[in-house]
Structure 1
Amino acid sequence: MRLPKRLLLAAGLGAVAARRAFNAPYDLQGRSVLITGGSRGLGLMLARELCSLGAAVTLMARHADALERAAEDLRSHGARVHTVAGDVTIQADVDRAVQETVRVHGGLDVLVSNAGIIQTGPLANMTEGDFREIMEINAFATLRLTRAALPYLRGRQGRVLVVGSVGSRVAVPHLGPYCMSKFAVAGLAQALRAELAREGVTVTAVHPSLMRTGSPRHAQVKGQHKKEYALFATLDNLPVLSLDAPTAARRMIAALVRGDAEVMIGGPALMLRYVQALAPQLTADVLALSNRLLPAPASSDRMVLGAQAESDVTRRNPLKRRAESEFNEL
Structure 2
Amino acid sequence: MISWKAPLALAGARWAWSRARRRYGSAPTPEPARGRNLELLAWGAAGAVIGVGASALSERRRSGLMSGKVVLITGGSRGLGLQLAREFGASGASVVICARGQENLDRAVAELTGRGVDAHGVVCDVTDPEQVETLLDEAEQRFGRLDVLVNSAGTMLVGPQDALTDEHFRQAMDIMFWGPFHLSRAAVDRLRATRGSIVNITSIGAYLSVPHMLPYSTAKHAWAALSEGMAAETAGTGVRVTTVVPGLMRTGSHRGVLFRGDPEREYAWFALAAGLPLLSVSVERAARHIVHATARRKGFLVITPTARLGLVARGIAPGLTQEAMRLVGWLLPDTPGQVEERLGSEAGDSRLGRVVNTVAVLNERAGRQMNQRSRAEEQREDRRTGERSSE
What TM-score comes out, normalization by structure 2 length? 0.76
- The corresponding residue for 2:143 is 105
- The corresponding residue for 1:318 is 361
Report whether the alignment pairs 1:168 with 2:206: yes
Is the contact made by 2:157 and 2:216 (CA closer than 8 Å) also made in structure 1? yes
Q: CA deviation at 1:298?
A: 2.5
Report whether the alignment pairs 1:328 with 2:366: no
The C-alpha deviation readout for 1:233-291, integer Å capped at 9, x for no partner, is: 11110011000110011111122122222111111000000011111111111111121
Structure of greater Rg: 2
Query: What letter is aligned with 1:171?
Result: S
Q: CA deviation at 1:118?
A: 1.1
Query: What letter is aligned with 1:66?
Result: N
Query: What letter is aligned with 1:278?
Result: I
Is the contact made by 1:229 and 1:309 (CA closer than 8 Å) also made in structure 2? yes
- The corresponding residue for 2:223 is 185
Matches within 5 A, 1:87-106: 87-106=125-144
Query: What letter is aligned with 2:369?
Result: E
Matches within 5 A, 1:60-75: 60-75=98-113
Report whether the alignment pairs 1:117 with 2:155: yes
State the SS of the aligned residue for 2:194. Answer: coil
Query: What letter is aligned with 2:104?
Result: A
Q: How much is the aligned-residue C-alpha RMSD, in angstroms?
A: 1.6
Q: CA deviation at 1:315?
A: 4.4
Q: CA deviation at 1:198?
A: 2.6
Q: CA deviation at 1:168?
A: 1.1
Consecutive unaligned residues of structure 2, counting only runs of 5 or more, are 1-61, 374-391
Aligned length: 306
Return the match for 1:229 from 260, 267, 284: 267
Q: CA deviation at 1:35?
A: 0.3
How many angstroms apart in 1 are the aligned matches of 2:166 and 2:292?
37
Runs of 4+ in 1 over 4 A off after TM superposition: none
Is the contact made by 1:36 and 1:61 (CA closer than 8 Å) also made in structure 2? yes
How many angstroms apart in 1 are the aligned matches of 2:116 and 2:153?
24
Q: CA deviation at 1:27?
A: 5.1
Is the contact made by 2:262 and 2:339 (CA closer than 8 Å) also made in structure 1? no
Q: CA deviation at 1:175?
A: 1.0
What TM-score comes out, normalization by structure 1 length? 0.89
Structure 1 residues 196, 300: CA separation in 2 closer, same or farther (over 3 Å shift)?
farther
The C-alpha deviation readout for 1:156-197, integer Å capped at 9, x for no partner, is: 111000000010111111111111111111100011111122
Is the contact made by 2:262 and 2:340 (CA closer than 8 Å) also made in structure 1? no
Q: Which has the higher helix share?
A: 2
How many angstroms apart in 2 are the aligned matches of 1:277 and 1:322?
35
How many angstroms apart in 1 are the aligned matches of 2:106 and 2:278?
33
How many angstroms apart in 2 are the aligned matches of 1:300 and 1:184?
32
User: Looking at both structures, which has the greater relative contact order when contacts are Cα pairs under 8 Å and sequence separation is at least 6?
Assistant: 1
Is the contact made by 1:126 and 1:301 (CA closer than 8 Å) also made in structure 2? no
The C-alpha deviation readout for 1:3-61, integer Å capped at 9, x for no partner, is: xxxxxxxxxxxxxxxxxxxxxx9952111111000000000111111001110000100
Is the contact made by 2:271 and 2:357 (CA closer than 8 Å) also made in structure 1? no
- The corresponding residue for 1:131 is 169
How many angstroms apart in 2 are the aligned matches of 1:269 and 1:85?
33
The C-alpha deviation readout for 1:99-152, integer Å capped at 9, x for no partner, is: 110011111111000000011111111222111110110111111111221221
Q: CA deviation at 1:227?
A: 0.7
